[in-house]
Amino acid sequence: MATTLKISAASLAALFAVLGDAGRRILGPAEVDGRIELKAVRTLAEVAGDQIQPVLSAKETAFPRVERLLSYRMAPGKVELQDYDPEVQPTVLFGLRPCEAAGFNSLDAVFNWDTRDKFFNARREQLTVVGLSCTQADDACFCTSVGGGPGSTKGSDILLTPLPEGGYLAEILTERGEALKDLAPALFQPANGEDKEAMLAKVEPSFEHQGLAAKLPGLFTSDIWAEQSLRCIGCGACAFVCPTCVCFDIQEEADTKQGQRLRCWDSCGLRQFTLHASGHNPRSAQSERWRQRIYHKFGYFAERFGGPMCVGCGKCSRACPVDMNLKEHLTQVYEV
């Protein structure tokens, strides 16, 4: 289905107006008080140019930090249950980096694995991902070690790649991408053998993820996890900024008459992660929770879904207060 077109910067700016008129909300990386955040924008000019990516991932658009699942009210002899449908709005995620775009593939897999998650899918179905290839990378990036790359099309409905002569190559990758293009087909032109690679950032692979996955079963009792996690302070920053971390916790906010059930992000960094009602925790030490983080992402998930639950965006490494650089740790494990 993929077709490769071109779009000029002026036409891309015009596309924003078309999307707005078509009732699409546009979220893109933009500057707020000196920080880059994913926020609602109306024009291309509002989108921040010279930046790697926002701190938080776009997963929140499909898997928010707090999702209300149901509420209830108790009356004598009965319980009134109230279901909810999330409030959704057709949304274009503009300018997601290829790593973040690929993150949606992991989320899709988990939230549709044995049951189709109603909340996630209702939100997800309204999203069109317009990825933007990277022309720069930093020390935290390692997309090329986990099957992605600065120009990878995974997870994008349309992928834009900047061209040296100005404008963008526009790869229309899915039906959703096609539908978006069809809102203003005249803004796109046929491509003419442009070199997609010309402006792409160079990201040297640091390890090889299949090899890493193959190593893990033999390292479960290794000292490496305790050694690596010594400086980990056990917060939730890494998991919460991660575009693929899906662990959640169900919270009940209730009094004796009524309540609501909420789904909240959880993190393997936190001490209460997998704490049983009995008081027992199979992962009571920080090192065991750090090992779980690595095994879940690069072992268990890979076994079940055929690839790692990590897109190499480096958000966790940038967010970590104590510089637990994931690329560095994984490379060390790979080289054991």
Q: Which residues bind another protein (CB under 8 A)?
A: 35, 55-56, 65-66, 138-140, 226, 229-231, 233-237, 239-241, 249, 251, 253, 262, 264-265, 267, 270-272, 285-287, 317, 319, 321-323, 325, 328
Q: List the one residue out of 141, 50, 126, 137 whose CA is nearest residue 89.
A: 126
Q: Which listed option, another protein, ligand SF4, none, makes contact with residue 143 (CB within 5 to 8 Å by class)? A: none
Q: Which of another protein, ligand SF4, none interacts with 182 (beta carbon under 5 to 8 A by kind)?
A: none
Q: Which is nearer to ligand SF4, 42 or 231 (CB)?
A: 231
- In the bound state with ligand SF4, the residue whose beta carbon lies nearer, of 47 and 319, is 319
Q: Name which of 19 and 310 has its Cβ closer to another protein.
A: 310
Please report how close the Cβ of residue 208 comes to ligand SF4 at its closest, in angstroms.
23
Q: Tokens for 214?
A: 């193959």
Edge-to-edge strand list for the sheet holding 168-172: 35-40, 25-32, 91-96, 127-132, 158-162, 168-172, 3-7, 188-190
139 binds, options ligand SF4, another protein, none, Cβ within 5 to 8 A by partner type = another protein
Nearer of residues 189 and 284 to ligand SF4, judged by Cβ:
284
SS3 assignment, position 6: strand
* 126 vs 317, beta carbon nearer ligand SF4: 317
Task: Give the integer Cα–Cα distance in Å for 311 and 243.
Answer: 8
**Binding partner selected for residue 199 from another protein, ligand SF4, none, CB under the kind-specific 5 to 8 Å limit:** none
Angle at 251 between CA 246 and CA 256, to 5 degrees: 165
* C-beta of residue 238 within 8 angstroms of C-beta of residue 267: yes
Nearest distance in Å: CB 236, another protein: 4
Q: How far is the CB of 59 from ligand SF4 (least distance, A)?
A: 16
Rounded Cα distance between 27 and 40, Å, is 4
Min dist CB 174 to ligand SF4, Å, is: 33
Give least dist CB 291 to another protein, A. Answer: 14
**Closer residue to ligand SF4 in complex, CB, 205/234:** 234
DSSP string, 247-267: -EEEEEEE-SSEEEEEEEE--
The residues that touch ligand SF4, with contacts defined as CB under 6 A, are 232-235, 237-238, 269, 320-322, 324
Q: Is the dihedral of CA 85, 90, 95, 101 positive or negative?
A: positive
13 interacts with, out of another protein, ligand SF4, none, CB within 5 to 8 A per kind: none
The DSSP secondary structure of 67-82, one letter per residue, reads EEEEEEEEETTEEEEE
CA distance readout (Å), 47 to 36, 44, 116, 213, 264: 10, 5, 34, 37, 29
Cβ distance to ligand SF4 smaller for residue 90 or 321: 321
